[in-house]
Amino acid sequence: RLLQILERRQKNHPLLVGEPGVGKTAIVGALAMRIAAGDVPQNLARLSIHELEVGQLVAGAKLRGEIEERLRQVVAAIKGGDTILYISSIESLFGQGAAGSGVGELLKPMLTRGDVRLLATTTPEGVRKIQEKDGNLLRRFTMLTIDPPTPERAIEILRGIATRYEAHHKVQIGDPAIVAAVRLAKRYVQERSLPDNAIDLLDEAAARKRVEIDGLPAHMDDAIRRLSSLKAQRAGLQDDVDAMSVKTRERLDAEIKDLEPSVAEMRAKLDSRRGALAAHGALKDEYEKLTTQLEAARAEQNFAKLGELEHVQMPDVRRRLDAAEHAIAAAGLKDEGARVVTEESVAQVLGDWTGIPVAKMLEAESEKLLKMEERLSARVIGQSEAVRAVSKAVRRGRVGLRDPGKPIGSFLFLGPSGVGKTELAKALAEFLFDDEQSMTRLDMSEFMEKHMAQRLVGAPPGYVDSEEGGFLTEAVRRRPYSVLLFDEVEKAHADVFNLLLQVLDDGRLTDGRGRTADFSNTVVIMTSNIGSQRILETDLKLFESEEGREALRDVLREELKNFLRPEFLNRIDDVVIFRPLDKKDLRGIVDIQLRRLEKLLTDRELKLELTEAAKMMLVDIGYEPIFGARPLKRAILKSVQDPLAEEILAGGYKNGATVKVDVDGEGLKFSKD
């Protein structure tokens, strides 16, 4: 089609329109190669392509009309010649303030008269910009839409260019890696187009493999860095004489003493490794040169040279090359199999890009996921059903047994205040990312108005703040593998539920700028206080049986229909009921809260010990079923933390002391050991 447009008598100015990365520049390069090879119609065979760099054209232009004058000179220089003027990202010519309109007025008569044959590329967004600046200019072009290649075609493209990357990185790229690069890029890097995203993924996977081969093994690098860090810390504490610094210095000295011998041994092996690799590389290059000379001598029938190469030089180099390979093996270097870029290599790079763990699970991670309920229940007390439902969804998503177009899991948490709904969301974020802050939390009470709901996806073009993007879509674009918490969802405006319907049904959301955010790797959690009174009035024994929980769930679903639309409820994976907490649950929460308090005291080297009676007194003080665990936290704050803070300020507890807390009459008694 491009050749057909160039052959036309009028409007023979192709405008290639496509998203970044679909291959517009590659098409222009392929056209130049076909013209050079004569593989074009006769009328086009004499043409040559000259690229106009917009950056150089506008550089230093200060006066109005200066850019137009430069462009006129360029056109005059090639006018009447067999030249195609190529402009990449032509929309950038129209972003130069007042000069943009002048450029359009200059180009229109030139294109109409045929003074110059123009080939340009742009994006759909660029077409919109040109349309706004000078819509009539687009009529002079013939637009050719370039769609992203299909995955099958993208695989063929990558197979064709893989040899270039093999030569550059000096690795082997397996075909499974090529297929994986296309498949994973299409699924997880949706903000960019094939084949560009797949090529970048494969390129970095090959670079990663090269670094692994030439660089330090991970354990060796960690040990060397750790030793350097310890020595730097030790130097910083050299002149400090306080007790804490002395103690820290002793600990650092002991760790340095243990680590130094192993690091010295590692460095010796590293030097041996690098020497062996350098010798092997030099000999391999020499052998390849001799092979080239051998072919040339054979072609020239230079039998004297041929005999010397075959029987003297090449056997000698081959012998030394074999010895170098033995030295590499003795140094414990990787074999050739480790030089192959595999599907796993590509998955690891994608994990670095997006934070999505698509690589094969290590045994340690598999064990961690199998014990997920145990880990979460240690932090979220008394809500085993909720923990079980969330754990099952995460495991399904991690092994791929779910609908890839929807979120990993979507849950509606129902229960009274303070029973652990938000805490479970935080615990899940900490379990998945080792950081409970890796969670996007939205308080739906802030989105009760229609105009506030628009903030989730951002204002449409033309409105104030339209360039900032949406709060929700930008958060997911930055962290595609995350936990999304919509707190008190029943308070949200109806437009928020319309957006959530798209998220739950299609796993995607389009922001005000037309960009798509992928929610297929998120866990969507919504909390609500709907039905809280009914849950509080329910006998706790009812929660112990599946039949009882299901009966309560049916009753609550009917109540939910008064607040939420049926089509919204039907798209939620599970409605999870959080039962009220009893004193036994609060007793477990006391231990969790006290462990957190002990961590705060570590800087002062203070230890905290509470007797069982003291802990039960805190439970009695903080037991209010309507408010869950929050009164317990306040009880610990007032009965333990406040008196402790006052005593520390008064100098009652020195570093290294143990604070003991027991019951004394109707209150708590503090003593030190």
pLDDT above 90: percentage of residues in the chain: 12
Q: How far apart are CA 99 and CA 134, in angstroms?
A: 12
pLDDT at 382: 87
What is the C-alpha to C-alpha distance for residues 80 and 11, in angstroms, rounded to an integer?
16
Report in angstroms the alpha-carbon separations of 144 from 24, 147, 193, 265, 378: 10, 10, 17, 63, 60
Q: Which residues contact 426 (CB under 8 A, 6 or more apart)?
A: 436, 439
* CA distances for 116 relative to 13, 134, 349, angstroms: 9, 19, 45
pLDDT at 461: 60
DSSP letter at 44 equals: G
More confident residue, 253 or 330: 253
Burial of 133 (0-12, 13-18, 19+ CB in 10 A): middle
Contacts of 334 (CB under 8 A, 6+ apart): 212, 213
The helix or strand, by DSSP H or E, that contains position 551, with its residue range, turns out to be helix 546-560
pLDDT band at 219 (very low <50, low <70, confident <90, very high): confident
Q: How confident is the model over 221-234, as a mean pLDDT? A: 86
The pLDDT assigned to 481 comes to: 81
pLDDT > 70? residue 337: no
Q: What is the mean pLDDT of residues 484-501?
A: 90
Contact of 484 with 428, CB cutoff 8 Å: no
Closest CA to 107 of 126, 129, 130: 130
More confident residue, 10 or 472: 472
The first and second tokens of residue 378, run together, are: 């240690």
- Domains present along the chain, CATH in parentheses: 2-145 (3.40.50.300), 149-356 (3.40.50.300), 363-577 (3.40.50.300), 583-672 (1.10.8.60)
SS3 label, residue 525: strand
Residue 170 structure tokens: 């000096």
Choose the weakest-confidence range: 268-277, 489-498, 609-618. 268-277
CB 268 within 8 A of CB 224: no
With CA atoms as reference, report the closest residue to 100 among 64, 73, 145, 139: 64
Nearest to 202 by CA among 155, 237, 245: 155
Mean pLDDT of 540-565: 81
Which among 313, 301, 231, 220 has a CA at the least distance from the CA of 267?
220
Q: What contacts 318, CB < 8 A, 6 or more positions away?
A: 287
Helix (H, G, I), strand (E, B) or coil at 672: strand
Q: Would the pLDDT of 472 be above 70?
A: yes
CA distances from 386 to 118, 434, 622 (A): 63, 20, 24
State the pLDDT at residue 360. 56
Q: Count of CB atoms within 10 A of residue 673's CB?
A: 8
pLDDT at 486 exceeding the cut of 90? yes
The strand pairing partners of 509, in sequence order, are 517
Output the pLDDT for position 468: 66
Tell me the mean pLDDT in the region 208-215.
79
Span 246-270, average pLDDT: 84
Separation CA 591–CA 588 (nearest Å): 5
Task: State phi, psi for 592 to the nearest 5 degrees.
Answer: -65, -45
Provide the pLDDT for residue 484.
Answer: 92
Give bridge partners of residue 410 from the DSSP assignment: 524
Give me the chain's average pLDDT, please.
Answer: 83
**DSSP per-residue codes, 505-558:** HHSEEE-TTS-EEE-TTEEEEEEE-TTHHHHHHS-GGGGGSHHHHHHHHHHHHH
Percentage of the residues of the chain whose pLDDT score is greater than 70: 92
One-letter amino acid at 49 equals I
- What is the average per-residue pLDDT within 25-35? 88
CB atoms within 10 A of CB 467: 11
Give the pLDDT score at 43.
Answer: 79
Sequence-ordered list of residues with C-beta below 8 angstroms from that of 614, at least 6 positions apart, any chain = 661, 662, 663, 668
* C-beta of residue 173 within 8 angstroms of C-beta of residue 45: no
| Segment 92-146, tens digit of pLDDT | 777 554 444 567 777 778 877 777 788 889 988 888 888 877 777 888 888 888 8
Report the alpha-carbon angle 7-12-17, nearest 5. 115
* Residue 402: predicted pLDDT: 76
pLDDT score, position 670: 86
Of residues 473 and 133, more confidence is placed in: 473
Residue 627 has pLDDT above 50, yes or no: yes
Q: Locate 277 and state its tokens.
A: 């690799």
Residues composing the chain: 673
pLDDT of residue 158: 92
Phi, psi for 237 (deg, rounded to 5):
-100, 10
Q: What value does the mean pLDDT take over residues 29-35?
A: 88
Residue 461, number of CB atoms within 10 A of its CB: 11
Q: pLDDT at position 394, please?
A: 83
**Residue carrying structure tokens 């929980």:** 549
At residue 668's C-alpha, the angle toward residues 666 and 673, to 5°, is 145
